[in-house]
Each structure stands twice: as structure tokens, then as C-alpha cells.
């Protein structure tokens, strides 16, 4: 593919042939988030030289140990995005409270973000990323940030691996943009990403087997049984401990990702956060032709009760998500 077929992010977002013309303020916000992701990628790349590896010595609001880069990524994302005129508030995994930037008005935007997903992988040099979701404030919204995922106007993530890739949906498909280090531009390299409905690959943390509900345990057992089992084919299992990395692999070659609620985390609602992890990834999965579910309900229809709410997550190839929903319904 030549450069002529790789438009930069701004050209892609403002292309007059798009089915839906984007609000210029949204375009500006997305480009600013891309700038923040580029800056975070540089911190990740040079962490060892700048003394930014290892633990920060504290915990976040979730009670999870913070890495130095968690704090740096959060500060960088907030610093770069705070000057966007139509951005009313930031909701971060790393901050207990909502960061209000202005008196909210109709048409302003809200950004929910996980500044450095999978940061436990930093010290072993595996892929990490940034996840974000954008909603718009409607008339009468005044300071309302607890929006279900169906209200997202944009969702995306950046993955910091062999290359830095920004994956984005504005509600009309999913596209990936690789950062050209020579120019700093994000250019379209992965157009119209889709998740095939059928797969023979799943991603789950099997060390939690003893905590799983029967529905999840039966599903995984059937996959592991291979050609002689009820699925009549072999399955591969992958687990990176980085939602961004696992979901990106599914977008590129198919699969299903599971981080279900279980006996150990059910009192908290699950492991992953609804607003800045599950919702954006669910929108991306659906826009790519896949499904995203708690096992019983569509993630995007979940009504949040708090801005750090946790939830069960099953997403990816539609046939596998449907099968898992059937198993959950059968379990009762």
C-alpha cells in the first residue's frame, strides 16, 4: 500500500465523502487525544532511560498498585487535553474524582479514559495502551457523566507495541492509524477492521478457573477439549494481561475476550471498569461486526451507577459471544 492510500488522521476525519460529517470540535478533540497518545508512547519507549519504570509507591482509587508510568500517562493525557475548548470534563481510572474543566454547556464533550491499560506489562516490555471514550452533553445534562455506552460519539484505543497504532470508531466502522515516527502523523494503515463471526481462539486468565461460574467453566472446558470435544475443533488460548493487546489481536484476526465477573470479584461488579474500559471496547467490537456482553445483557445498554463502576466483559466474535450468553442463560 502506497502513502497515497494512507491518509493522515485529520484528512480521514474531515473527508467530505464520509457518510457522516463530524463536528469540527469533535475532530479537534480526537486529534488532541492522538497527540496525548503519541506523547505517552514516547514515555513508554524511553521509560528505562528516564527513570520511569517500576512502581510509583501508591495505589489508585481502585486499590491497585500504580506504576510510575500510570501516573505520568494520566498527567500527560490530562495536560494535553485540558486546553480543548469544548471539553467539559475528564473521567480517569487514576483519579478518584471527575476533573471538571469548565462550566458544562450543551454540545460540550466528556472524555473517559484509562491512561495506561496493562501497565503490569511495562517492566517485561509487553504491549500496553490507552483506552478512551467520548460522549456529548445534551440539553439539560448539567454535570451528568453517568451515561450508558449507547451515548458514545467516539471510542478508541492506542496500543504501544512494535508500532504505535490508534484504533478509532466514530460510529461508522473501525479504522486503525499507525504513527509514522518520521513525521509524527497517524496515517490510515488498517481500514475497515472487522471481527469474523467464527473463531477458534479465546483470551482469558485461566488462573481464575476456580472462581468462574459454571457457564464460563463449561465454555473453556469445551474449547480445551479440542477435536474430540463437543466443539469438534482445536482452540488456541491467548492472555496478555492487557485488554488493549488482547482486543487488538481479536480485531486483527478474530477471537473472543473474557473477563467475567466471578465468585471472587462479583461483590465489586467484576474486574473491568464500565465507562472507560468496557464501553469503548464494546462500541469498537460492535462497530467491527462483533458483540459485547456481560453474559446476560448488552454492555452498551448498561446504565452506570458510578463513574468507577466495574462490570463483567465478554466481547469479540459474535458466534462465540452468543454461545456464552446461552450458557449464562441456561445457568440461570
Rounded to the nearest 5°, which phi and psi values hold at 86?
-95, 10
Give the pairing of strands 128-136 and 152-160.
Answer: antiparallel
Is 70 flagged in the annotation as binding?
Answer: no
Burial of 329 (0-12, 13-18, 19+ CB in 10 A): exposed
Residue 118 known to bind ligand: yes
Q: Does the annotation flag 29 for ligand binding?
A: no
> How many other C-beta atoms can be found within 10 angstroms of the C-beta atom of residue 71?
19
The reply, when asked if residue 51 is annotated as ligand binding, is no
Task: Tell me if 205 is assigned to a ligand binding site.
Answer: yes
Residue 114 counted as an annotated binding residue: yes
DSSP state of 271: S
Residues 6+ apart with CB under 8 A from 146: 275, 303, 304, 305, 306, 307
Contacts made by residues 123-126, CB under 8 angstroms, sequence distance 24+: 123/53, 123/54, 126/240, 126/241, 126/242, 126/245
Residues 98, 286, 252: CA angle, nearest 5 degrees: 100
Q: Is 277 annotated as a binding residue?
A: yes
93 annotated to a ligand binding site: yes
Q: How much of the chain is in helix, strand and coil states, percent to nearest 5?
A: 35, 25, 40
Please, how many CA atoms are within 13 Å of residue 316, restricted to the half-sphere of its CB? 28
Backbone dihedral region of 120: left (phi > 0), alpha (psi from -120 to 50 degrees) or beta? alpha
* C-alpha dihedral (268, 95, 38, 194), degrees to nearest 10: 30
Q: Is 120 annotated as a binding residue?
A: yes
185 among the known binding-site residues? no
DSSP state of 35: H
A 10 A CB-CB count for 156 gives 27
329: cell is: 442463560
Which residues are part of a known binding site? 93, 114, 116-120, 205, 271, 277
Which residues are part of a known binding site for substrate? 117-120, 205, 271
Which residues are part of a known binding site for Mg(2+)? 93, 114, 116-117, 277
Amino acid at each position: 500500500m502506497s502513502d497515497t492510500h494512507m491518509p493522515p488522521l485529520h484528512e480521514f476525519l474531515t473527508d467530505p465523502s464520509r457518510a457522516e460529517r463530524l463536528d469540527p470540535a469533535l475532530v479537534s478533540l480526537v486529534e488532541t487525544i492522538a497527540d496525548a497518545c503519541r506523547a505517552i508512547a514516547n514515555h513508554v519507549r524511553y521509560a528505562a532511560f528516564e527513570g520511569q519504570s517500576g512502581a510509583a509507591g501508591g495505589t489508585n482509587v481502585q486499590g491497585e498498585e500504580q506504576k510510575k508510568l500510570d501516573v505520568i500517562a494520566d498527567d500527560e493525557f490530562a495536560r494535553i487535553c485540558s486546553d480543548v475548548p469544548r471539553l467539559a470534563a475528564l473521567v480517569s481510572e487514576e483519579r478518584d474524582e471527575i476533573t471538571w474543566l469548565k462550566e458544562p454547556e450543551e454540545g460540550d464533550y466528556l472524555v473517559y479514559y484509562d491512561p495506561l491499560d496493562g501497565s503490569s506489562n511495562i517492566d517485561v516490555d509487553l504491549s500496553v495502551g490507552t483506552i478512551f471514550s467520548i460522549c456529548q452533553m445534551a440539553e439539560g445534562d448539567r454535570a451528568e457523566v453517568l451515561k450508558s455506552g449507547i451515548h458514545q460519539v467516539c471510542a478508541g484505543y492506542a496500543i504501544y507495541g512494535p508500532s504505535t497504532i490508534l484504533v478509532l470508531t466514530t460510529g461508522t466502522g473501525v479504522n486503525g492509524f499507525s504513527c509514522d515516527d518520521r513525521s509524527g502523523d497517524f496515517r490510515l494503515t488498517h481500514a475497515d477492521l472487522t471481527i469474523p463471526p467464527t473463531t477458534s481462539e479465546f483470551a482469558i486468565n485461566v488462573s481464575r478457573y476456580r472462581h468462574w461460574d459454571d457457564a464460563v467453566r463449561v465454555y473453556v472446558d469445551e474449547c480445551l477439549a479440542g477435536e474430540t470435544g463437543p466443539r469438534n475443533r482445536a482452540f488456541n488460548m491467548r492472555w496478555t494481561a492487557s485488554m488493549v493487546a488482547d482486543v487488538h489481536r481479536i480485531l486483527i484476526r478474530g477471537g473472543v475476550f473474557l473477563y467475567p465477573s466471578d465468585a471472587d470479584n462479583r461483590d465489586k461488579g467484576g474486574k473491568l471498569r464500565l465507562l472507560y474500559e468496557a464501553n469503548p471496547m464494546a462500541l469498537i467490537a460492535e462497530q467491527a461486526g462483533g458483540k459485547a456482553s456481560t453474559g446476560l445483557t448488552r454492555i452498551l445498554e448498561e446504565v452506570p451507577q458510578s463513574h468507577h463502576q466495574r462490570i463483567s466483559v465478554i466481547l469479540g466474535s459474535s458466534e462465540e459471544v452468543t454461545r456464552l450468553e446461552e450458557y449464562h442463560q441456561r445457568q440461570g
